[in-house]
Amino acid sequence: MVFDPNLFNTESEQVQRNTLLQYLKQQHPEVLEQVAQSATPEIKQIITQNVQGLIGMLPSEDFNVQIITDRDNMANLLASAMMTGYFLRRMEQRMELDSTLDDTSSLR
Taking residues 18-47, report their average pLDDT.
81
User: End-to-end CA distance of the chain, in Å?
Assistant: 42
**Other residues' Cβ atoms within 10 Å of the Cβ of residue 32:** 15
Say if residues 48 and 11 touch (Cβ distance below 8 Å): no
Q: Which among 22-26, 59-63, 71-75 has the top mean pLDDT?
A: 71-75
pLDDT tens sequence across 99-108: 999 888 777 6
The predicted structure's pLDDT at residue 97: 92
Taking residues 6-27, report their average pLDDT.
67
Share of the chain above pLDDT 70, in %: 83
Q: Which residues make Cβ contacts (< 8 Å) with residue 22, sequence separation at least 6? A: 16
The predicted structure's pLDDT at residue 68: 84
Say if residues 40 and 85 touch (Cβ distance below 8 Å): no
